[in-house]
Amino acid sequence: MAEKAWWKRTFVYQIYPKSFQDTTGSGTGDIPGIISRLDYIKELGAGAVWITPMYPSPMVDNGYDISDYTSIDPAYGTMEDFDRLVSEAGKRGIRIVMDIVYNHSSDQHPWFLESKKDRTNPKADWYIWRDPKTEGVDTRAEETGEKTGADLAGGKAVPTNWRGIFGGSVWTWCEERQQYYYHTFAKEQPDLNWENPEVRRALFDAANFWLDKGIGGFRIDAISYIKKPAEFLDGKPDSPDGTVSVHTMTANTPGILDFLKEFKREVFEGHDIFTVGEACGVETEELTDWVGDDGVFSMLFEFTHVLLPFDGPEIWCRPKPWKLTDLKRVMFKSQEAVRDEGWLPIYFENHDRARSVNVYFDGLPNPDRTDPEGICCAADPAPENGTGGSSGTDPENSTDRAPEERRAMTPEERKLAARGLAAVLFTLRGTPYVYQGEELGMQNADWHSPEEFNDISTKWQYQNALEEGYSPEEALRFAAFFSRDNARTPMQWDGSENAGFSCAGAGSRGDGAGAEPWLPVHADFRELNAALEEADPDSVLHFYRKLAALRREREELISGSCRELLPEDEDIFCFERRLEDNCILIAVNFSRKEINLGERLKDQAAAPGGDVSAAQLTEKNRLLLSSRRDAEPGILKPLEAQILE
């Protein structure tokens, strides 16, 4: 049966407005800049644009600290600009999707400013307040100044030993109330009290305000943290400082779905929109409680595939090696979980993740310091000790040799890698999400100093690596590889000054001296930009357009079932999409050697319980799309993606 929902039949393009297009010379992107690029997005084939927060904000966390839920930050434009954006996008068949942040607000939001005044004001319990801990406190800490897992503020012990997502205690002292307030993220982002029905009503009203403006849906940030435990108790430390990650203690707390069902009933139902939740902590087995006919969202972002390098908390100086089979296992486990009910957003990049070509094809920083090059294997297979290993025997591709012999990817290979990831992105069952610049194959930036980072999370991760005993050079390597700033460098439109992102120096709205881009432009912008790729029919950009067109044309890629093939293969990411008697085979070579796909499939079929029908798929030799010009159906050249029927 064909999928009918409009958001299943298109794909979503994500914009980080601060870095997309500056029309004023302020160094910061704006809404008129987005409007000016709508034709580019339409040509790409997107039917929806998700925009990260544009509300008024002190910008401690680049807009995820909101001080007014129903206004536009003047740095981005006006409400009239926003209304025009919705209108102009609609003329091009594009829906605008807003990013809402309802776990917390800014500490500059009027609600919090009132709440902190005293313990009796009308909004006194709109946030989470607690008295200092009085039982089980190690008083020696007051005498020695040492930390015991619970920092002290003026001799007042914090209520729990929980560590925030951005580091430090989740508790900050408020002199006015003589209490601590709670924050999952930065101290400037106090958590809202969802147990208070007045808070929920205010948040629902704000969401309905934007629906009345004709938007196409919501991405809901950090929603898995809104429900807190009934008791705030210390957790088992997972860090040398005696703290435990707040994620471990609060993510997906039982009872959260009751809040979200009310959210769905009061806001989402009755509108032709989609919703996608960011809910780190939801297990694959729980997906159908969150998505599907009886779920609370249309889609839910899963994190298993982007958190492969980490066991437990996402601590960047503690990465572990992983193999292609690990990536396939978690992605197809999610596919299987929603096979009969539910729908997934398919993604490799967003504003919180490093660039995918680097993540899935470069080596990870090595925490064990056993590798002189400082890397452990990522896309190429590695054994558990992280010292190398490969299922192939090709010396150019093998990781069984000394690390210094591993050859870095060439620019052309990086383009092939970007096309390969795109082939997976557009052909798995679900709605593809493309992050700005991903369609160009943009890569991680070169960071030379911790002072260059803007991201609050990166700054903490760098400091944490130092505290765990790494040198400044090693700490910088971890931060540079995983930093969220990698995804936030300005969009590279052309080879002119500032990559065409900003007319910085021309003045702000015609008056003023102008400013440099808020984050430096990537050094490779003259060799990698949209204008160059527009002129190159073999570019990553054109391949994205071809994939989007193929997905529109072939119902199998939208409504067909999805089944993994070659699950134990360490070189090939392979699966089929089947609808009635029609079948499409997708195969991506993650290695740098040539592979006979037909032989690999025949070997699988010959194994006990093998599938003979899958082995015959390549015999028809009909190639729908390849990432290489010199393609031979069924023969995968290095890093090649083939889509066959």
pLDDT band at 611 (very low <50, low <70, confident <90, very high): low
Q: What are phi and psi of 479, to 5 degrees?
A: -65, -40
> Do 583 and 462 belong together in one domain?
no
Q: Which of the residue ranges 193-197, 309-313, 526-530 would you say has the lowest mean pLDDT?
A: 309-313
> Do 250 and 275 belong together in one domain?
yes
Beta strands in 519-610 (DSSP E): 561-565, 572-579, 582-589, 595-596
Sheet of 431-435: strand order equals 299-301, 274-278, 217-221, 95-101, 48-51, 12-15, 431-435, 345-346
pLDDT band at 137 (very low <50, low <70, confident <90, very high): low
Question: What are the tokens at 327?
Answer: 């990536």
Which pLDDT does position 617 carry in this prediction?
Answer: 53
pLDDT digits 0-9 by tens, 342-359: 999 999 999 999 999 999
547 is a domain residue: no
> Do 224 and 305 belong together in one domain?
yes
Place of tokens 């990553």: 540
CA distance 278 to 53: 14
Question: What are the tokens at 599?
Answer: 């032989």
> Do 116 and 171 belong together in one domain?
yes
Which residues belong to the active site?
221, 278
Which pLDDT does position 155 carry in this prediction?
Answer: 57
CA distance 444 to 635: 31
- Does the CA dihedral 52-54-55-61 come out positive or negative? positive
Which pLDDT does position 265 carry in this prediction?
Answer: 97
Which pLDDT does position 172 carry in this prediction?
Answer: 98
191 is a domain residue: no
Query: How many domains in the chain?
Result: 5
> Do 381 and 511 belong together in one domain?
no
> Do 339 and 445 belong together in one domain?
yes
pLDDT digits 0-9 by tens, 274-308: 999 999 889 888 999 999 888 999 999 999 999 99
Mean pLDDT of the chain: 89
pLDDT digits 0-9 by tens, 156-188: 799 999 999 999 999 999 999 999 999 999 999
Which pLDDT does position 262 carry in this prediction?
Answer: 98
Place of tokens 């008056």: 511
Q: What is the CATH number of the domain that holds 160?
A: 3.90.400.10
Place of tokens 């914009």: 15
Which pLDDT does position 382 carry in this prediction?
Answer: 36
Q: What is the b/e burial string over 594-615, where b = at least 16 CB atoms within 10 angstroms of the residue's CB?
A: ebebbebbbebbeeeeeeeebb
- Owning domain of residue 335: 6-105+197-350+410-455+486-530
pLDDT band at 312 (very low <50, low <70, confident <90, very high): confident
539 is a domain residue: no
537 is a domain residue: no
Which pLDDT does position 614 carry in this prediction?
Answer: 59
> Do 375 and 430 belong together in one domain?
no
CA distance 517 to 499: 10
> Do 595 and 609 belong together in one domain?
yes
> Do 285 and 420 belong together in one domain?
yes
Which pLDDT does position 136 carry in this prediction?
Answer: 60
> What is the distance between the terminal CA atoms of the chain, rounded to a whole angstrom?
20
> In this model, does residue 360 exceed pLDDT 70?
yes
Phi-psi region of 313 (alpha: psi -120 to 50; beta: other; left: phi over 0): beta
Which pLDDT does position 156 carry in this prediction?
Answer: 78
Question: Domain boundary residue among 182, 217, 238?
Answer: 182
356 is a domain residue: no
418 is a domain residue: yes
494 is a domain residue: yes
> Do 23 and 125 belong together in one domain?
no
Per-residue pLDDT averaged across 125-147, rounded? 68
> Do 506 and 566 belong together in one domain?
no
332 is a domain residue: yes
pLDDT band at 149 (very low <50, low <70, confident <90, very high): very low
> In this model, does residue 385 exceed pLDDT 90?
no
Percent of the chain exceeding pLDDT 70 equals: 87
CA distances to 15, 125, 554, 563, 604 from 492, in Å: 13, 46, 31, 37, 43
> Do 298 and 421 belong together in one domain?
yes
